[in-house]
Chain A
Amino acid sequence: MNTLTKLIARWRVQAYLDFMWMTRDFRFFFINIVSDIILNLAGVAAVFLLAERFQGIGPWSRDQIVFLLGYAALVRGLLDMGFSYNVLHISRRIGRGQMDHLLVQPQPLWMGLLAEGFMPFSGSWSLIAGMGITAWAIHQLGMALTASWWLIFFCNLVASCAIVLAFSFAWGSLAFWAPVAAEEISSRAVNFMYQLKSFPLDGLSAFMLANMLTVLPVGFVAWYPCRQLLGIAPSHLWHTPLVAMVFSLIAWVAFKKGMQHYEQTGSQRYLGWGHRS
Chain B
Amino acid sequence: MFAKHLKTVVMVATRSLDDKGWVIVGGYGLRLLRVVFLLSLWRVLLPETGEVSGMTRDAVLTYTLIAEVFAGQISVRTGLDNALWHGDIANRFLRPVGIYGQFIAEMFGTGLPNLVMFSLPLFCMAPLLGVDPLPEGGVAGGLFLCSLILGIAIGAAFDFIFASLMVLLEQNVYALMQIRDAISVLLSGAIIPLALMPWGIGNVLVYLPFASLASAPLRIYTGTGDPAFLIGLQAVWAIVLWPVAHRLWNANRERLVSHGG
Q: Which residues of A are in contact with B by a Cβ distance under 8 Å?
A: 27-28, 31-32, 34-35, 38-39, 42-43, 45-46, 49-50, 52-54, 57-58, 174, 178, 180-182, 184-185, 188-189, 191-192, 195-196, 199-205, 208, 216
Complex contact A196–B182 (CB within 8 A) = no
Q: From known contacts A31-B171, A192-B26, infer whether A57 and B20 are also in contact, taking CB-CB under 8 Å.
A: no
Does chain A have a CB within 8 A of B91? no
Q: Which residues of the other chain, B, contact A185 by a CB distance below 8 angstroms?
A: 22-23, 26
| Interface pair A200/B172, CB less than 8 Å apart | no
Q: Is the CB of A50 within 8 A of B196?
A: yes
Q: Which residues of B contact A199 (CB under 8 A)?
A: 37-38, 41
> Are B192 and A50 neighbours in the complex by a CB distance under 8 Å?
yes
Q: What A residues does B175 contact at CB under 8 A?
A: 31-32, 35
Q: Give the residues in chain A near B36, CB-CB below 8 Å.
A: 204, 208
B21 and A181 contact, CB distance less than 8 A: yes
Question: Is B198 within 8 A of A49, CB to CB?
Answer: yes
Q: How far is the CA of A126 from the CA of B198 in the complex (A)?
A: 25
The 6 closest A-B pairs by CB, nearest first: A42-B182, A188-B26, A203-B40, A203-B44, A35-B175, A53-B198
Q: Report whether B34 and A188 are in contact in the complex, using a CB–CB cutoff of 8 Å.
A: no
B183 at the interface (CB under 8 A from A): yes
Query: Provided the pairs A53-B196, A188-B22 are in contact, do residues A35 and B43 lie with their beta carbons within 8 angstroms?
Result: no
Interface size on B, residues (CB 8 A): 36
Query: In terms of DSSP, what is the predominant structure of the interface of chain B?
Result: helix
Q: Which residues from B are CB-within-8-Å of A201? A: 37, 40
A188 touches B23 (CB 8 A): yes
User: In angstroms, how far is the closest chain A Cβ from the Cβ of B163?
Assistant: 16
List A contacts of B183 (CB < 8 A). 38, 42
B19 at interface (Cβ–Cβ under 8 A)? yes
A51 to chain B, nearest CB (A): 9
B residues within 8 A CB of A52?
Answer: 198-199
Say if the beta carbon of B239 comes within 8 Å of chain A.
no
Number of residue pairs A-B, CB distance < 8 angstroms: 100
Among A38, A52, A174, the most chain B Cβ lie within 10 Å of the Cβ of A38
Q: B45 near A: Cβ within 8 Å?
A: yes
For residue B184, which residue of chain A has the nearest CB? A42
Of the candidates B19, B182, B199, the one whose C-beta lies within 8 Å of that of A43 is B182
Contacts of B182 in A (CB 8 A): 38-39, 42-43
B178 within 8 A of A: yes
Closest CB-CB distance, B36 to chain A, in whole Å?
7
CB contacts (< 8 Å) of A189 on chain B: these are 26
Name the CB-closest residue of A to B31: A195
Cα distance A130–B198 in the bound complex, in angstroms: 22
**A180-B20 Cα distance, complex, nearest whole Å:** 8
Q: How far is the CA of A32 from the CA of B179 in the complex (A)?
A: 10
> A233 vs B182: C-alpha distance in the bound complex, in angstroms?
32
B26, B37, B179: the one contacting A34 at CB < 8 Å is B179
- Whether the Cβ atoms of A200 and B171 lie closer than 8 Å is no
Contact between B22 and A28 (Cβ–Cβ < 8 Å)?
no
**Shortest Cβ gap from B67 to chain A (Å):** 12
**A57 engages B41 (CB within 8 Å):** yes
Q: How far is the CB of B213 from chain A (nearest CB, A)?
A: 16
Asked if B240 lies at the interface with its beta carbon under 8 angstroms from chain A, I say: no
| Assembled-state Cα–Cα distance A184/B171 (Å) | 24
Interface set, chain B 1-27, CB cutoff 8 A to A:
19-23, 26-27
Asked if B30 is an interface residue, CB under 8 A from chain A, the answer is yes
Contact of A50 among B29, B33, B45 (CB under 8 A): B45
Q: Which residues of B contact A192 (CB under 8 A)?
A: 26, 29-30, 33
Chain B residues, Cβ within 8 Å of A203 = 40-41, 43-44
For residue B165, give the distance in angstroms from its CB to the closest CB of chain A.
11
Are the C-beta atoms of B22 and A35 separated by less than 8 Å?
Answer: no
Asked if B116 is at the interface (CB within 8 A of a chain A CB), the reply is no
Question: Quick one: which of B19, B186, B199 contacts A46, CB cutoff 8 A?
Answer: B186
CB-CB < 8 A to A31: which residues of B? 169, 171-172, 175-176
What separation, in Å, do the CA atoms of A178 and B20 have in the docked complex?
10
What residues on A are CB-neighbors of B41 within 8 Å? Answer: 50, 57, 199-200, 203
